[in-house]
């Protein structure tokens, strides 16, 4: 079958044998994510026509103002997964604690837990900028048939079974990995089907884009400051200066950089010494995808997926993208900011 005509459902069936645990449950879980993503996409497309934009009036677990679409997307993904009884537990950036999913008999024999950022970059909805959903899947470590525990969610990123994101932009794409490369599927809105449009996605060998919020420059660590100066310097040897591109939506910035080649950075600052992005809901899944696409993801010093989580909403600095660019940033961090290496509690 021509790749361009392969649906997501057909792809999952054809690649079932490559999944880390080939039981069919993981396939059904990804299909559930596909369904929820289509519903969220439908709601986003109505933004501006109905009252779903703006602040919801609540504060999430990170002390941030929730947007109406944050709440809506969280509920849609959560209910889709719960109703299908496809996971034994869910953790969300929008929830204070993890959610135990019970089966009909008040037990749950399902093998997987899902962690998610249901609507990354939601503050951009009001100005019609692309947003996304990020998800991460782990095999539970608690005994099957018992309620999930916090330890099921506090696993290193290296233990992920699958991870992906949905970008709701000019077209809607679902990009994911199960540890055998990265593939992207574009939604045909006319018939509601995702088709394989970007097989075997990889970072270009040479990246030219750097993505960081430079408004915080004076609060950056010294190594970060010097790396940004390096990015701007004219050097004929490697054709610098690089191009600055920053949307403020992790999914959108990451997606562009993976296709065109570049580095995304949300570093530590004097204001946020452990960074701002969440390890479990944002950094681990993106790091998994990044590495599977030939890139690299670190906190400036340590591989992201080697960090042992200690809390559900733990934050870390985040450097990810084209391998050579990340390694160059690490050189500056190691030389000038080693005494400021993150100390995770």
CA distance 328 to 322: 10
For residue 162, what are the contacts with CB-CB under 8 A and spacing of at least 6?
Answer: 19, 26, 29, 30, 136, 137, 176, 177, 178, 179
* 117 known ligand binder: yes
Strand partners, 319: 265, 298
Residues written for the chain: 345
Number of Cβ atoms within 10 Å of the Cβ of 141 = 14
* 279 known ligand binder: no
Number of Cβ atoms within 10 Å of the Cβ of 53 = 19
Contact (Cβ atoms closer than 8 angstroms) between residue 111 and residue 25: yes
Is the C-alpha dihedral spanning 290, 296, 300, 302 positive or negative? positive
* 81 known ligand binder: no
* 122 known ligand binder: yes
Q: Which residue has the tokens 């990810």?
A: 320
* 270 known ligand binder: no
Q: Binding-site residues, please?
A: 93, 117, 119-123, 246, 276, 282
Residue ranges at the known binding site for Mg(2+): 93, 117, 119-120, 282
Annotated binding site for substrate: 120-123, 246, 276
């Amino acid at each position: 079958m021509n790749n361009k005509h392969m649906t997501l459902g057909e792809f999952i069936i054809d690649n079932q044998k490559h999944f880390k645990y080939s039981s069919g449950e993981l396939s059904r879980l990804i299909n559930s994510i596909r369904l929820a993503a289509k519903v969220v996409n439908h709601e986003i497309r109505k933004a501006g026509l109905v009252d779903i934009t703006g602040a919801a009036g609540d504060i999430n677990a990170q002390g941030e103002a929730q947007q109406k679409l944050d709440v809506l997307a969280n509920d849609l993904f959560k209910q889709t997964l719960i109703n299908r009884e496809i996971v034994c537990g869910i953790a969300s950036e929008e929830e204070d604690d993890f959610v135990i999913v019970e089966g009909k008999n008040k037990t749950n024999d399902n093998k997987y837990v899902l962690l998610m950022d249901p609507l990354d970059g939601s503050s951009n909805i009001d100005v019609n900028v692309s947003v996304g959903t990020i998800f991460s899947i782990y095999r539970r470590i608690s005994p099957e048939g018992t309620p999930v525990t916090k330890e099921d969610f506090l696993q290193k990123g290296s233990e992920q079974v699958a991870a992906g994101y949905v970008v709701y932009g000019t077209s809607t794409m679902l990009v994911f990995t199960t540890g055998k490369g990265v593939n992207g599927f574009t939604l045909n809105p006319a018939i509601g089907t995702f088709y394989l449009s970007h097989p075997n996605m990889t970072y270009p060998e040479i990246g030219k884009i750097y993505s960081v919020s430079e408004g915080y420059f004076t609060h950056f660590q010294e190594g970060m400051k010097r790396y940004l100066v390096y990015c701007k310097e004219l050097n004929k040897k490697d054709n610098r200066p690089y191009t600055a591109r920053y949307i403020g939506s992790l999914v959108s910035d990451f997606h562009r950089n993976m296709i065109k080649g570049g580095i995304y950075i949300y570093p530590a600052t004097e204001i946020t010494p452990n960074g701002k992005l969440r390890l479990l809901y944002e950094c681990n899944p993106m790091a998994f995808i990044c590495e599977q696409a030939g890139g690299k993801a670190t906190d400036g010093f340590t591989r992201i997926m080697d960090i042992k989580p200690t809390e559900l909403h733990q934050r870390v600095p985040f450097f990810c993208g084209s391998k050579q660019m990340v390694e160059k940033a690490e050189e500056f961090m190691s030389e000038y900011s080693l005494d400021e290496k993150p100390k995770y509690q």
